[in-house]
Amino acid sequence: QGIEAHGYDLVVASNVLHATADLHKTLATVAECLAADGLLLFHELTDHNITYDNIFGLFDEWWSDTELRPERALMDRAAWVTLLRDCGYRDVQSFGHSPHPDQQKQSIFIAQAPRMADTAATIAPSLAGDCYLLFADRHGTSHALQHELTARDARVITVMAGDRFQREEDDRFTVDPASKEDLNALLAALTADHLLPSTVVHAWSLDHPAVASLSADQLAPDALVAAQTTGVFHALALVQALAASPLAEPARVIFLTRHSVHVTETDRPTGLATVPLTGLLRVTRNERLEQRWIQIDLAPTPPTADDASLEIADLLNELILDDGEVEVAYRDGRRYVNRLHRTTPDEFPLRQQNALQPDGSVLPYRLEIDKAGVLTDLRLNATTRRAPGPEEIEILVKAGGVNFRDVMKALGIYPGNPIDLKWFGDDVAGVVIAVGENVTSIRPGDRVGGLTAYSFRAYATLHQNLCFKLPDGISFEEAATLPTVFLTAHYAINHLARMRRGERILIHAGTGGVGQAAIQIA
């Protein structure tokens, strides 16, 4: 029908999707129309009314969908939501036209397009035949990158910022950054020579000075605006020129920037003059779907030659190894990508959900380890709650004490193979939320500490005799350090040793938890 694939940010449908024989196929077709993160907004009859079945049921195609509609012509609201999610749509929301469930005859649905299939990273075994258009900076990064590309048999056409359009050599041009005519002349020359770059690399922003090296005059608004001539203004001109040029559209347009993106908590970007470019590229990705518009933000100027060499190696890998990322940053030798997507908790399995729900409730979970000895295998896994029985209480855990037994389990050095080897915690402190029969001294809302197995969890159920109320002034964290160590020290000193005033005691390892408790008791 001449519909551009993935060319629409919003698709609207009103009482039409149901009129197709295969709803899975219909929704897949609609998904092909939506751009990345595009929205589908549609309206459907969702009331199970026999009148609709008598009318629509006269058409043969209604009954070809035996999976979703075996007995009725229309689907209800919940069935549509399930179908959308099964078809890969994200952030599915639905609204009835009436606040009263028994009066909701029609519903509106909003869903985000399914994620496009992740592009597996592809490695080019050779760059022979590849052509790169490189808007080169004057600080040497582009020159080093060009050397690496040509060494791999790629053809690199460099463009320097100058005062007019000029072809200095077959593969070397100069253009006036402020002249759109120069940019159009460049693309026309490449078209005439049948030079078809598969990748454009724009590195002029690397010439923008860092804030730390700027004087007060250079930080003036006029000076920062002037820097945009080779930055966001020229980027916009390039976007427009590529859209109007008969030149074969490059698959990628990559902009190199330096320390203009905030990546980590301690990051303090110094490339202020380049910051507007990030916003332009994000808009361009929505408007110009023919290319992938990529930003690679480099770390502050490399302090050593070795760091500079590593930076060029990283850039070369970005060009050769294409993994589909569009916002990449390098900091301290690490590669970061901006891969934030809007989603809802119910799209994740339970173990990946946030335990704290929007209404303030907490999902039940407990700390477990899949393989003892590998600390990275510690997981907060979903579990179930156990209602308190007679003389038991249930608490919402606020803190748990770490004992040496837990450390031995985690490190895989705990003796034997007990059934609870993968679970942790004995000491606990929290707030009582439920009590069983025959519990009289403790009530919901009390702050308590105590002992229970596997206490590193959201909810713990324990016998009332194994807990104690917390006095005012003692925090949950403090209370969770008391039970095991003080009971151990008390049992050893007062019960087994039966120590009396005036006797002496040697406390070995007095800096540990039991040692500290023993010192206080003695």
Residue 350 has pLDDT above 80, yes or no: no
| Residue 447 confidence (pLDDT) | 97
Structure confidence at residue 489 as a pLDDT band (50, 70, 90): very high
207 vs 46 pLDDT, higher one = 207
148 vs 96 pLDDT, higher one = 148
> pLDDT (tens digit, 9 = 90+) per residue, 156-194?
999 999 999 999 999 999 999 999 999 999 999 999 998
| Residue 428 confidence (pLDDT) | 96
Residue 218 has pLDDT above 70, yes or no: no
Residue range 27-54: mean pLDDT, rounded = 84
Q: Which residues contact 33 (CB under 8 A, 6 or more apart)?
A: 3, 4, 5, 6, 7, 8, 11
Cβ atoms of 262 and 269 closer than 8 Å: yes
Residue range 240-247: mean pLDDT, rounded = 85
Residues 358-472: name the CATH superfamily.
Answer: Medium-chain alcohol dehydrogenases, catalytic domain (3.90.180.10)
| Residue 221 confidence (pLDDT) | 75
- Where are any strands of DSSP class E within 289-389? 292-298, 321-322, 327-331, 334-337, 365-369, 378-382
Residue 285 has pLDDT above 50, yes or no: yes
Average pLDDT over the chain reads 86
Structure confidence at residue 339 as a pLDDT band (50, 70, 90): confident
Give the separation between CA 69 and CA 81, rounded to whole angstroms.
15
Distances (CA, A) of 126 to 154, 252, 444: 8, 18, 70
Residue range 504-521: mean pLDDT, rounded = 89
358-472 shares the fold of 8-112: no
| Residue 62 confidence (pLDDT) | 62
Residue range 75-80: mean pLDDT, rounded = 86
Identify the architecture of domain 8-112 in CATH: 3-Layer(aba) Sandwich (3.40)
Residue range 248-252: mean pLDDT, rounded = 78
Structure confidence at residue 106 as a pLDDT band (50, 70, 90): confident
Structure confidence at residue 119 as a pLDDT band (50, 70, 90): very low
CA dihedral 288, 291, 293, 298 (to 10 degrees): -170
Structure confidence at residue 21 as a pLDDT band (50, 70, 90): confident
| Residue 248 confidence (pLDDT) | 65
Residue 72 has pLDDT above 80, yes or no: no
522 vs 177 pLDDT, higher one = 177
Lowest-pLDDT choice from 145-149, 214-218, 291-295: 214-218
What is 125-337's CATH number, 3.30.200.20, 3.40.50.720, 3.30.160.270, 3.40.50.2300?
3.40.50.720
| Residue 177 confidence (pLDDT) | 96
405 vs 302 pLDDT, higher one = 405
- Counting Cα atoms < 13 Å in the Cβ hemisphere of 408 gives 11
Give the separation between CA 295 and CA 237, rounded to whole angstroms.
17
Distances (CA, A) of 282 to 293, 339, 507: 8, 13, 65
Ordered by start, the domain boundaries in the chain are 8-112, 125-337, 358-472, 482-522
Residue with tokens 């808009």: 283
- Counting Cα atoms < 13 Å in the Cβ hemisphere of 306 gives 2
Residue range 355-360: mean pLDDT, rounded = 74
Lowest-pLDDT choice from 262-266, 369-373, 451-455, 469-473: 369-373
> pLDDT (tens digit, 9 = 90+) per residue, 413-435?
888 767 777 889 999 999 999 99
| Residue 215 confidence (pLDDT) | 63
Structure confidence at residue 355 as a pLDDT band (50, 70, 90): confident
Structure tokens at 151: 């060494």
Lowest-pLDDT choice from 33-42, 217-226, 241-250, 479-488: 217-226
Residue 348 has pLDDT above 70, yes or no: no
Give the separation between CA 340 and CA 336, rounded to whole angstroms.
12
Percent of the chain whose pLDDT exceeds 90: 49
| Residue 352 confidence (pLDDT) | 57
- Is the full-model pTM beyond 0.85? no
| Residue 120 confidence (pLDDT) | 45
| Residue 13 confidence (pLDDT) | 93
To 5 degrees, how large is the angle CA 503–CA 504–CA 510?
140
| Residue 470 confidence (pLDDT) | 96
Cβ atoms of 255 and 296 closer than 8 Å: yes
Q: How far apart are the first and last CA of the chain?
A: 88
Structure tokens at 175: 């253009």
Residue 9 has pLDDT above 70, yes or no: yes
| Residue 346 confidence (pLDDT) | 61
